[in-house]
Chains A and B, each alone.
Chain A
Amino acid sequence: MQDTPFNIGKQSFKSRLIVGTGKYKDFNETRRAIEESGAEIVTVAVRRVNITDRNKENLLDFIDPKRWQILPNTAGCYTADEAIRTCRLAREVGVGAMVKLEIIGDQKTLFPDVPATIEAARILVKEGFTVLPYVTDDPVACKRLEEIGCAAVMPLAAPIGSGLGIRNPFNIKIIIEQSKVPVIVDAGVGTASDAAVAMELGCDGVLMNTAIAGAKDPIAMARAMRLGIEAGRLAFLAGRIERRLYATASSPITGLIG
């Protein structure tokens, strides 16, 4: 079955899985997991260079920006100003202008500060960034972000790193139905079936980090996630049967023996 390309801004991708690079044992494991996931977009965090350890390896020496689309995030930012500053710096590294806008509103739940996210997104869009905002699974918030020019909306499935899977599939469904930009479920996925559920709902993609990096075998889980995304997407395109309360026989009811 032929799938449509996964377009974000002016770019086109085949893989609908976006993966993070945090929490791995080392950069080698990071790279192997990313290879196995088949992801073409890879998120990274923006941090101060380690001045004291000058021989420290650099993530980009393992994740070649020519091969993967690097998606810097604003993780750790609590205000629009901090996030904007982070994005401007990230763009200057020279791997493009696509950013994952993430402004945290609460330390315990890591739920996003939606007003601050909208404020920052407006400015970043004006400055030419391709803005992918992490947002609550709130259809109105997603609508606003789309209206101001975000290239996608990224509602959470559940709190970051929680592994709870999609907590509100009905909201996600509404967001998918109303959106003209890609809908990418970001955060909260725990295992391959969660990723498949997101894709079966009609999401354009899924972004995850902990579910892979935190698994006992991250490389195997990366593959499981790739297959989960593919299976869910294919099931969505194939069109599932209606849910019924009672049975409908699969075998003919005529021609029975006796």
Chain B
Amino acid sequence: MTERSRLRPKPLPGRQEAAFQMPSQNAARNQKITIKLNGDAYVIEGDARLTTLIGALKMKPTRIAVELNREVVPKSGYAGITLREGDELELINFVGGG
């Protein structure tokens, strides 16, 4: 089992798992997927890499932590992750608290 596939949820009954292959740049651009980001539906058009999303949200990787499908993603793993339809992503940071 690869690190990436370990982070996948078990496919739902009837849900076709996409063939596991690196999408070409063009295919990636045309994709439109819906993930659950911090509990809400979030649409990503095109480039679905995690690092791209973090950049688009103007977040510094040193200020956040990432959980994908209930598993913590180490910072070293960000670069290898491309989000897919139905993924559940949590992005957390620190706020004031006691």
Within 8 A of A (CB), among B57-76: 57-60, 62-67, 72-75
Chain A interface residues toward B at CB < 8 A: 20-24, 27, 30, 43-49, 51, 54-55, 58-61, 70, 72-73, 75, 85, 88-94, 160, 187, 207-210
A46-B92 contact in complex given A58-B60, A94-B62, C-beta closer than 8 Å: yes
A21-B59 contact in complex given A89-B72, A92-B75, A94-B75, C-beta closer than 8 Å: no
A72 to B94, CA, bound (A): 8
Q: Is the CB of A23 within 8 A of B72?
A: no
Give every chain B residue within 8 A of A24 (Cβ-Cβ).
96
Stretch of B10-18, B22-30, B37-45 with 4 or more beta carbons under 8 angstroms from chain A: B37-45
Q: Could you tell me the distance in whole angstroms from the C-beta of A73 to the nearest C-beta in chain B?
A: 6
Residue with the greatest number of chain A CB neighbours at <10 A, chosen from B75, B92, B98: B98
Q: Could you tell me the distance in whole angstroms from the C-beta of B50 to the nearest C-beta in chain A?
A: 13
Chain B interface residues toward A at CB < 8 A: 37-40, 42, 57-60, 62-67, 72-75, 90-98
A43 to B95, CA, bound (A): 9
Given contacts A43-B98, A55-B58, 11 further A-B contacts (CB under 8 A): A23-B96, A47-B94, A49-B38, A51-B42, A58-B93, A58-B94, A89-B65, A90-B92, A92-B73, A93-B92, A209-B97
A228 to B28, CA, bound (A): 60
Name 23 interchain pairs, CB-CB below 8 A, sorted by A: A21-B96, A24-B96, A44-B96, A45-B98, A48-B39, A49-B59, A51-B37, A54-B57, A54-B58, A55-B58, A58-B94, A59-B95, A59-B96, A60-B93, A61-B63, A70-B94, A88-B72, A89-B92, A91-B65, A92-B73, A93-B92, A207-B98, A209-B97
Main secondary structure of the interface of A (DSSP, over half): mixed
Residue with the greatest number of chain A CB neighbours at <10 A, chosen from B42, B59, B60, B95: B95
Give every chain B residue within 8 A of A22 (Cβ-Cβ).
96-98
Q: Could you tell me the distance in whole angstroms from the C-beta of B64 to the nearest C-beta in chain A?
A: 6
A22 to B98, CA, bound (A): 6
Q: Could you tell me the distance in whole angstroms from the C-beta of B87 to the nearest C-beta in chain A?
A: 15
A47-B95 contact in complex given A89-B65, A92-B72, A93-B64, C-beta closer than 8 Å: yes
A73 to B91, CA, bound (A): 17
Residue with the greatest number of chain A CB neighbours at <10 A, chosen from B39, B58, B96: B96
Give every chain B residue within 8 A of A54 (Cβ-Cβ).
57-58
Q: Could you tell me the distance in whole angstroms from the C-beta of A167 to the nearest C-beta in chain B?
A: 18
A210 to B60, CA, bound (A): 29
